[in-house]
A and B are shown apart, each in its own frame.
Chain A
Amino acid sequence: MSRIAASETQVAIRDLRGRSVPLVSTVVAILLALLPIVAATPLIPDFGLLVLIAWRLLRPEIWTPNTALGLGLFNDLVAGNPIGQSMLLWTALFLAFDLIDGRLGFRDYMMDWLIAAAAILFAAGGAWYIALLMGADVHVLVVAPQVGIAILAYPVVTRIILALDRWRLGR
């Protein structure tokens, strides 16, 4: 593709691509929960949350906390969570990210990973507590393997998001 847009439609297409890629990629990640895998042991990380955190830490300016509210509702419906769970936890995370961004001058890669790890831990702990309130009396350590895998998967997800971001903004 040439670097200079040839027509108005081409400009419009590129503009649409630039705007829609973060949202579409997050929705696709949420839909990964529909993978036809029957998991008896909780190991597979929550890809929707990982992609959401990765986009938010990479591009703080594209989303407001309201986005997390809508995406959380979508995730609850797709993943079969009690409705409101991801809405609450993800929006709380976005507010916390805004606070962190306000306090911190800049973040580097390790800092991002640390923040993402804390966020994953918070989301898993919140989900565990809500399950406890709903009568699922499981030990908190049951969640540990999934949290560990999610934290280790975060850098991989970030690479993918970075590539997507480069493609989204490239000409």
Chain B
Amino acid sequence: MAQPAKRRSGTYSRRVQYSLFLGYVFAIAGMIVAVLMLAISIVDPRGFAAIKGAALDVTTPVSAGGRGVVRFFTGIGDTVSDYWQAGSQNAALNDELNAARRELVAAQAAQAENRRLTQLLGLARQVNDEVALVRVVGSSFEAPRRTATLSAGRSSGIEPGQPVRAPEGLIGRVIEVGQWAARVLLVTDGSSNVPVRLVRDGTPAIAVGRGDGTIELRTLEVGQNPFRPGDLLVTSGIGGVFPPGVPVAIVARLDGDSAIARPIADPARADFAIVQRAFQPAAAGALDQAAPPVAGPPAAAPPPQPGAAPRQGDPGYQPALKTAPPGGAPR
């Protein structure tokens, strides 16, 4: 390649030098502004909600329009392979159907029993009516974050914090909302924490995204790993955002004290996603801004209070002084 033109050497015009210098001053000032904006984004993730929502509104129709084309092309491969495998697939499906029928009867019995026990316990379960049926139209390509875009927004009743699921399982949680579009934090994102439990024995765990399409499962139990490859995990309902019983992931392999799991719902293949109301709406706002939720024991037991024990040993800690006397102290 030819020698690139050098801008500074050779220009002795004072005007040119001044404008170059001013350019650098503007650039550095702009970087400082950018750092401040980033700081605001980090401290208050909803700080620029209006701007980002508007940007979503403008850009999502573009993605939505092309989504059908992409689906058509990915569909061609599936159609061809389906044609070739029709015979064997038919037999396999028949076997599967017979097995599923047997399981269905068992599941219906279990459901009836479940309903009866729930009524016995008097548990007030909120009706989880869906807010909207939406299409997943795009996603972020940026490496460390995993988000997807939905084709409906505030005008359809979607609010930040609401859980999003596909028919197969959990997809994530709404983080940004525009008027006609919304952005979902996928369960595979590094900042996504979903309280889950093991279907096999009910062991509670936290499903934390790893950013590369897999999920890490962390449990409270130290020294033993309750997971086995192939285990199914469903949401536990702790924390109040995600409704209980939604499939989240399947354990792929064990990794020391934790396990690596594959998410069940693939947002790339899901035709439709269902946005639901937050399980207990009051909890949504608080949890949304809080640090990773503490993995609690199953809902029946009271949550542990980590701060309580060490404070009793602290000589300077006097709980009585922390609260104002009932009458109100004179100033």
Contacts and interface: CB of A to CB of B under 8 A. Distances in A.
A137 interface: yes
B148 A87 contact: no
Contacts of B48: 83
A143 B146 CA distance: 12
A128 B143 contact: yes
Interface string A9-44: 000000000000000000000010111111111101
Given A36-B137, A40-B267, A134-B41, A69 B63 contact: no
B138 A36 contact: yes
B23 interface: yes
Among B4, B48, B143, which residue has the most Cβ atoms of chain A within 10 A?
B143
A101 to B, nearest CB: 7
B147 interface: yes
B191 A135 contact: yes
A147 B45 CA distance: 26
A109 B1 contact: yes
B37 A80 contact: no
Contact of A95 (B24, B144, B188): B24
Contacts of B64: 36
B191 A91 contact: no
Interface stretch (B85-93, B204-212, B301-309): B204-212
Given A112-B1, A131-B191, A138-B144, 18 more contacts: A31-B59, A35-B70, A36-B69, A42-B144, A42-B212, A46-B141, A58-B1, A61-B5, A83-B48, A84-B33, A87-B37, A88-B35, A91-B27, A91-B31, A94-B27, A101-B6, A108-B1, A131-B145
26 contacts: A31-B62, A34-B59, A34-B138, A36-B69, A38-B268, A40-B188, A44-B141, A60-B6, A61-B4, A64-B20, A65-B26, A68-B27, A69-B27, A78-B55, A79-B141, A80-B56, A80-B142, A80-B183, A82-B41, A83-B51, A84-B35, A84-B37, A94-B27, A135-B191, A138-B209, A146-B141
Interface of A: 31, 33-42, 44-46, 57-61, 64-66, 68-69, 72, 77-85, 87-88, 91-92, 94-95, 101-102, 105-109, 112, 124, 127-128, 130-139, 142-143, 146-147
Interface of B: 1, 3-8, 20, 23-24, 26-28, 30-31, 33-38, 41-42, 45, 48, 51-52, 55-56, 59, 62-67, 69-70, 136-149, 176, 183, 186, 188-191, 208-213, 263, 266-268, 291
